[in-house]
Amino acid sequence: MEKVLKIYKEYFLLSHGLVLILFLINLLFELKSNNKEVIFLTIYLFLILTFFSVLEFVKYEVIRPKKIKSVLEESFIESIKINKQKIKNNYLLNIYDYDIIIEPEWERFQKKLNFNFRVLFDPLSLDRTISKEEYVKFNDAENHKYFFQLNCLVLSLNENQFNKLNKKSFISEIKLMTELLVLKKLNPITYKNWILSYAKMEELESKYLDKLYS
């Protein structure tokens, strides 16, 4: 029941709410002469918006997960047999002592599938969190390829770039990322410990970004 309510809220509530508001506005103005027409138009609009909501639901909840699963099963990931586990839709690997998350990303606003490689590091490696100035400096230096967050180094690839990788090229890419972290003295952390501070680091990074773009 909870899942059904969540789906309804995400895909149908807005459109149905819009229809209800329009219907109530018509009732409020007491358009009696066009009452049957109003009811007909309301039902018509309700059906049309419900149809498009169903399409959106099928696209995002049915088609996209199958597509992601298919791409992953045909990728280099299947050739990696050790130090690998699946966490929901993501894969967790351990390479060069660092935990790495392979994260498919295909949100409703995104037209195409992307993949993020997150090499996790201890956000307190420097005996404190990375400062706003360091955050900017790290990303200015590496903006051609990687993105520094406060607890991981991220490489984002589109589907075509991801499909071109094989096991060897993937490990080579991860090696470059881990070497960069070692150079900046950002130490490995286990996924189990990393997730404990994830929300806090995400909130702090959001504050940095607000200050930078305000």
Structure confidence at residue 75 (pLDDT) = 87
Taken as a whole, the chain contains a residue count of 214
The answer to whether the beta carbons of residues 97 and 174 sit under 8 Å apart is no
The answer to whether the beta carbons of residues 134 and 100 sit under 8 Å apart is no
Dist CA 214 CA 198 (whole Å): 24
| pLDDT tens-digit map of 120-157 | 999 999 999 999 999 988 888 655 789 999 999 999 99
The pTM (predicted TM-score) of the whole model is 0.77
Dist CA 151 CA 117 (whole Å): 13
Q: What is the DSSP letter of 204?
A: H
Helix (H, G, I), strand (E, B) or coil at 29: coil
Residues of the chain with pLDDT under 70: 1-4, 7-8, 10-11, 23, 26-36, 38, 108-109, 141-143
The answer to whether the beta carbons of residues 159 and 193 sit under 8 Å apart is no
